[in-house]
Structures are given as C-alpha cells and as structure tokens.
Amino acid sequence: MSSRLNRRMTTFAVVAAGLITLALPLLLSSTNIEIYVTIGLYTIVVAGLSLLMGFAGQVSLGQAAFYGIGSYTAAIMSLHGWSPLVALVAAPIATAFLAFLIGIPLLRLKGHALAFGTLAVQLIFLAVIPQAASWTGGSIGLSAIPSLRIGPLAISSGRDYAYLVWVVVVATLFIARNITRSRPGRGLRAMAASVSGASATGVEVERYKLKDFTLSAAFAGIAGGIYVFFIGYISPDAFPVVLSIEFVIMVVVGGIGTVAGALVGAALITVISQVLISLGTGPSLPAQLPTVLSLGVYAVILILILRLLPSGLVGAFNRLLKKGQPAPTVPHFVGGSVLEVRSAKDTEEPNELTLVDEV
C-alpha cells in the first residue's frame, strides 16, 4: 500500500518538476536563464561523476578538464567548417575517447592516488591549452563560435538553450538510471562494495572501471559542447580547478550515487555560488573576495554534509520517506547480535581438538 503511495508521489513529483522545468525559461530574466542553463549543464556533468564516485568508488578531481575538452572539441570543429550539430555530437565522443586512453594507465591507481592523478589531468589540460595557441587561441581563447542549428531550427536565445539543455539533462538522467538498474550497474555497485567478490562473480573489474570513467567523461563532454555554443566564446579560464572541486561537492551534497542527487546538488551549489558572487562583488570590495568566500562556504558545506547527512540531501530525504515503514533488517532467529556476527566473520576458531576426537 505504502509503495503504491510512494509511486504516486514519485509520479506527481516528476510531473510537477517537468512542468516547472518547461515553464521556467518563459519566466526568467536573461541573467537567470544563464544560471538556469548552467544548472542543467552541471547536472549532466554531476550525473556522470556520481556514477563514477558512487558506483565505481573512484573520485575524479579532473572533471572540469573533460568538460573543457568537450567545449574545445565543439569550438574547434565548428570553427573549422564542421556543422555545429556534428561538432556537438563529436564533443562527448572525442572526450570519451580521450578519457578512455588516459584511463588505461590512470586507473591502475586507486583511491587518493587516483584522485590526484585526475587532478594532474586537469593541470596538464590547463597547461597545454594556452600552448597550443594555433588551435585553441591560447590563453585568449576562441570567439565567434557559430550558433547551433538542429535542422531548420536555429538555437540562439537563452530560452532555446534552456530547453535544449534540459532535454539533454533528461536524456542523461534516463541513461544513468537505466545503467544503475541493470547488469552493468549491479556490476559497478558490487565492485564498489567488494572487488574480490565482484571478480569472483564474473565482473571484469578493471574493464568496468574504465568504462565508467569513459562514460562520466562523455557526460562532461556533451555538457561542455552545449556550453560553448551557449556562451559563444571559450578560454581556459572557464575551466579552473575549483570547478572540478565544485563538481565533487555537488555530487556529495546531492547524494553520491543517486540520480536525483545530481540535479539537487548541481542546482543548490550553482545558486549558492551565484549568491556568493553577488555578495562578494562591490565597488569597495577586494577582487578576490568572491573566490575566497565561495571556497570557505564550500568547505563548511562539505564538512556539514559529511558529518550530518553522509548520504546527501536526496539520501536523507529517501530515508525520511521510508520512516514509518518496517526497517529492512532480519531478526536474529538464533539469538546473538550484529556485533557477534561481525566478530565471527573475522575469527577462525581452531578446531584441531574436535578433529582429534573424530580421528
């Protein structure tokens, strides 16, 4: 009964969210539409990163680099005479391919070492782009990027991009959800819980990690591609290390490994960062204030979430919904407690004496 109620509530929430999403671009001012598009773009990136962090158990501190690679791919191709639509489709493909190549050696690292490895990818990206000036326009960047057309449909206004980006958001969330609920997703979750258990069950652990890394890069790549057509110019400044960190914080705040968490985390952190920028910008205020302010606030948010809501906002909300339903635990029929089970798991009691009796 309660599950039917839950399903109804979920359907209602999805329909309501859909209507709000469709209505908002008509109501928002042009500045706010920019924020709205940004939230959509970040949701796409965060959905991919969440698949990587929540399911393969790997942290990437270089996701902004993949976002940037997608942007540059789309920009360079469309400036070299390719149709913008082809360039947009190529952005995630090129990004995924590059991530695949980088991932082969990189994913031999684990945990913190992998996180720093991905951070290095971002730093290399930021070092290479200004050097390859003939292609990338150096640190000044590229401008006059043609506007996007899908067939006869010209995508030019902020409102057009708002609709485009949210179509892609729905598509990526759909893909993320489908993956988590089928064979590959189960393999990933198994792998995050126990590598030896997963490999003994037939999950090809290394290959799965690489595929997950590639997929998360593809998500960042398509978001980057849309971004560059939306903004119309591109420079390395748009992809700072702090953006990679923001992506990780969005994942954690929303709830690692939850598809809805990507949306919640991206929306919340993007809005907070906009508020902080407007708070920290003023004629008598130092120019670095917005950056310092946002780093400080992110740190506080991260600590609070990890301390108080380790499963993120969506995780906490889900638990709240489930309250009142019986907890999914099994009574211990033969007495004993969880603690006993845990200790019995680790110890191997010597049985020689019983053996001798037998012999």
Q: Which residues of the chain form contacts with another protein (CB under 8 A)? A: 175, 178-179, 182-187, 189-190, 193-194, 196-205, 211, 215, 328-330, 332-334, 336, 341, 344-356, 358-359
And the tokens for 315?
Answer: 């995780």
Q: In the bound complex, what is the minimum distance in angstroms from residue 8's beta carbon to another protein?
A: 20
The β-bridge partners of 148 are 155
- Residue 206 neighbours by CB distance under 10 Å: 14
Neighbouring residues of 337: CB distance < 8 A, sequence distance ≥ 6? none
**Residue 175 CB, nearest distance to another protein (Å)?**
4
- Min. distance of Cβ 327 from another protein in angstroms? 8
- The minimum distance between CB 359 and another protein, in angstroms, equals 5
Per the CB < 8 A criterion, the answer to whether 221 and 69 are in contact is yes
Rg for the chain (alpha carbons), in Å? Answer: 23
Which residue, 212 or 246, is less far from another protein as judged by CB? Answer: 212
Tokens of 47: 């959905």
Give the shortest CB-174-to-another protein separation in angstroms.
Answer: 8
Nearer to another protein, 205 or 279 (CB): 205
Q: At what angle do helices 241-254 and 312-322 cross, to 10 degrees?
A: 0
Nearer of residues 45 and 142 to another protein, judged by Cβ: 45
Q: How far is the CB of 247 from another protein (least distance, A)?
A: 21
CA-closest candidate to residue 41, choices 275, 266, 313 = 266
Counting other chains too, the contacts that 33-38 makes at CB distance below 8 Å and 24 or more residues apart are: 33/158, 33/159, 33/161, 33/162, 34/158, 35/270, 35/271, 35/274, 36/162, 37/158, 37/161, 37/162, 37/165, 37/230, 38/270
Nearer to another protein, 173 or 289 (CB): 173
Is the Cβ–Cβ distance between 251 and 98 less than 8 Å? no
Closest to another protein by CB, 288 vs 329, is: 329
Q: Which is nearer to another protein, 199 or 274 (CB)?
A: 199
Residue number with CB closer to another protein (89 or 268): 89
User: Residue 144 or 200: which CB sits closer to another protein?
Assistant: 200
When the beta carbons of 211 and 252 are compared against another protein, the nearer one is: 211
Return d(Cα 298, Cα 311) in angstroms, integer.
17
Q: 249, 269 in Cβ contact below 8 A?
A: yes
Measured in degrees and rounded to the nearest 5, phi and psi for residue 41 equal -60, -45
Alpha-carbon distance 24 to 256, whole Å? 27
> Shortest Cβ distance from residue 50 to another protein (Å)?
15
> Using the 8-state DSSP alphabet, how is residue 12 labeled?
H
CB 214, min distance to another protein, A: 9
Determine the angle formed by the axes of helices 241-254 and 111-131, rounding to 10 degrees. Answer: 140
Rounded to a whole number of angstroms, the minimum distance from the CB of residue 63 to another protein is 19
